[in-house]
């Protein structure tokens, strides 16, 4: 039960009554003597009073209050009266003292609320006795000394109050230490003391709840350890989480939670790595990469990262191998352009591969050769032209040196060779006319009117025209096909103009 604060003298401090100018009664002789003495003292009083009036103008502005107080008290004793100046000075002291006393009262009440008698009794009593000494000095009219006494008492009270927070913190630390050691008796005792010196302390309430929950926390932790030893990590995690929920600040609970989570991560990591290697062995690259990434996400590890790189490398090699296989099949079919396309895709996957570059160049070269031969075979008439004929011979010689020569290329070369031979074999041309038409065979010659004539010309396309005075000209274009034996055409102008 809280002890009722003791009422201090200075808590109800009232200004002391000051009686200036009162004199005790006397008989007539004494009154006469008093008047005579008074007459003798008048000059001295006037001299002193005049000095008091002049003194403020002669002294510096920083004259201390102590000196003023002394002068005032001497004046009052000499004259038996209080002037307005002294009255105002007394009021100022009262006001200053009252301010200090108010602060003292507030701090005293706060310290008594914190049961200062339990932790700083001697210092508190010393400060209070100094405040009470200030009461006595003030009532005696010794205002300056009274003010100083109150100020010293206030400083001592404030120092005691300032030490309270440090004291509370030390008590909290001691309670936490005993609670961590599961010393329940010491924890309860510490909480009682903490509640007394710091009512409504939130930390104290939190510690009290932790103390109440500690037995259940210990039960959950014991169960979690047994489950962990048996390899039942999921169940162990559930149990330790219940302990942490009850007391998140309990270090053994947090530590065991970390251990179980670490064990779970290790098990999950190992499981993911096993699945990854199994998938890699089956060439299931996407599945393997996903498992390695999962393992690395569980616990970043060089093994998982190396596994990811291995999967990507093997996938790349497998893709290149597949493209190369397709290209080989197309090369066997002598579909060189398609094969080059597959080699080009492989080169995109591995740009620094010398082998792929060489195979790509070979396929492109064979594709270009194939295209040229096809163009020549498609236009056999051009083979009779000197430039085309020469080019075809070069291609024929070049292709003949290729090893191996596939079935398709062999047939192409045979056809080209045959076309070349036919391109140089002349074809017999028979021209007939009416003996009146002049005939012009372009790129061959002009002829006088004739009835018929024969020429041997290389295969190709020719144009022949006929002219006759008074008749419309005629013109014919014809082709001497390679391999043909003869060709006949009539040229005569028959339409009059």
Token digits of residue 373: 């031969």
CATH of the domain at 491: 2.60.40.1120
Overall average pLDDT of the 389-398 stretch = 88
CA distances from 328 to 318, 332, 368, 383 (A): 15, 6, 17, 33
Kindly tell me if the per-residue pLDDT of 94 is higher than 90. no
Alpha carbon of residue 198 to chain centroid: 43
Instruction: Provide the number of structural domains found in the chain.
Output: 2
Percent of the chain with pLDDT over 70: 83
- Write out pLDDT tens, residues 241-276: 999 999 999 999 999 999 999 999 999 999 999 999
**460 in a structural domain:** yes
Angle (CA) 377-380-381 rounded to 5° is: 160
- Write out pLDDT tens, residues 285-309: 999 999 999 999 998 989 999 999 9
Q: Give the chain's largest Cα–Cα span.
A: 201
**246 in a structural domain:** no
Q: What is the pLDDT of residue 253?
A: 95
Alpha carbon of residue 129 to chain centroid: 63
Work out the pLDDT band at 82, boundaries 50, 70, 90: low
Q: Which residue range is the domain that position 44 belongs to?
A: 31-63
Work out the pLDDT band at 12, boundaries 50, 70, 90: very low
**38 in a structural domain:** yes
- Write out pLDDT tens, residues 399-441: 877 877 788 888 888 898 898 888 888 999 999 999 999 999 9
How far apart, in whole angstroms, are the C-alpha atoms of residue 190 and residue 204? Answer: 9
How far apart, in whole angstroms, are the C-alpha atoms of residue 281 and residue 156? Answer: 83
Rounded to two decimals, the pTM is 0.49
Kindly tell me if the per-residue pLDDT of 34 is higher than 90. no
Work out the pLDDT band at 195, boundaries 50, 70, 90: very high
**175 in a structural domain:** no
Overall average pLDDT of the 73-84 stretch = 52
Residue 326 CB coordination number (10 Å): 17
Length of the chain: 497
**494 in a structural domain:** yes
- Running DSSP on this structure, what letter comes out for residue 437? S
**55 in a structural domain:** yes
Low-confidence winner among 70-79, 189-198, 483-492 (lowest mean pLDDT): 70-79
Q: What is the pLDDT of residue 54?
A: 37
Kindly tell me if the per-residue pLDDT of 4 is higher than 80. no
């Amino acid at each position: 039960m809280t002890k009722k604060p003791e009422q201090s003298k200075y808590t109800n401090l009232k200004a002391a009554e000051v009686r200036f100018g009162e004199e005790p009664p006397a008989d007539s002789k004494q009154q006469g003597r008093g008047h005579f003495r008074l007459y003798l003292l008048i000059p001295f009083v006037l001299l002193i009073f005049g000095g008091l009036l002049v003194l403020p103008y002669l002294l510096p502005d920083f004259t201390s209050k102590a000196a003023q107080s002394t002068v005032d008290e001497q004046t009052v004793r000499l004259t038996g009266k209080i002037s307005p100046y002294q009255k105002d000075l007394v009021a100022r002291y009262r006001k200053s003292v009252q301010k200090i006393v108010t602060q003292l009262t507030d701090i005293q009440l706060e310290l008594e609320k914190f049961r200062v008698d339990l932790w700083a009794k001697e210092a508190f009593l010393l400060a209070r006795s100094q405040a009470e000494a200030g009461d006595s000095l003030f009532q005696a009219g010794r205002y300056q000394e009274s003010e100083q006494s109150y100020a010293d008492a206030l400083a001592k009270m404030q120092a005691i109050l300032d030490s309270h927070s440090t004291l509370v913190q030390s008590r909290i630390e001691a309670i936490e230490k005993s609670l961590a050691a599961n010393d329940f008796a010491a924890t309860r005792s510490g909480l009682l003391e903490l509640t007394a010196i710091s009512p409504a302390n939130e930390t104290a309430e939190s510690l009290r709840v932790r103390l109440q929950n500690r037995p259940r926390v210990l039960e959950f932790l014991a169960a979690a350890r047994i489950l962990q030893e048996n390899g039942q990590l999921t169940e162990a995690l559930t149990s330790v989480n219940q302990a942490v929920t009850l007391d998140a600040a309990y270090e053994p609970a947090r530590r065991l939670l970390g251990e179980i989570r670490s064990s779970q991560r290790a098990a999950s990591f190992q499981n993911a790595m096993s699945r990854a290697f199994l998938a890699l062995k089956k060439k299931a690259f996407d599945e393997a990469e996903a498992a390695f990434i999962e393992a690395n996400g569980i616990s970043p590890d060089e093994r998982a990262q190396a596994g990811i790189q291995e999967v990507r490398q093997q996938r790349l090699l497998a893709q290149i191998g597949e493209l190369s296989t397709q290209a080989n099949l197309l090369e066997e079919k002598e579909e060189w352009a398609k094969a080059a396309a597959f080699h080009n895709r492989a080169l995109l996957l591995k740009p620094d591969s010398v082998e792929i570059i060489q195979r790509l160049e070979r396929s492109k070269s064979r594709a270009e050769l194939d295209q040229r031969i096809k163009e020549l075979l498609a236009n056999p008439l051009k083979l009779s032209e000197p430039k085309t004929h020469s080019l075809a011979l070069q291609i024929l010689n070049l292709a003949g040196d290729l090893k191996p020569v596939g079935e398709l290329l062999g047939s192409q070369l045979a056809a080209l060779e045959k076309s070349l031979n036919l391109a140089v074999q002349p074809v017999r041309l028979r021209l007939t006319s009416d003996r009146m038409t002049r005939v012009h065979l372009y790129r061959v010659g002009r002829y006088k009117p004739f009835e018929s004539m024969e020429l041997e010309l290389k295969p190709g396309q020719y144009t022949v025209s006929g002219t006759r005075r008074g008749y419309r000209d005629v013109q014919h274009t014809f082709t001497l096909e390679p391999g043909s034996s003869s060709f006949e055409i009539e040229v005569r102008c028959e339409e009059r103009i």
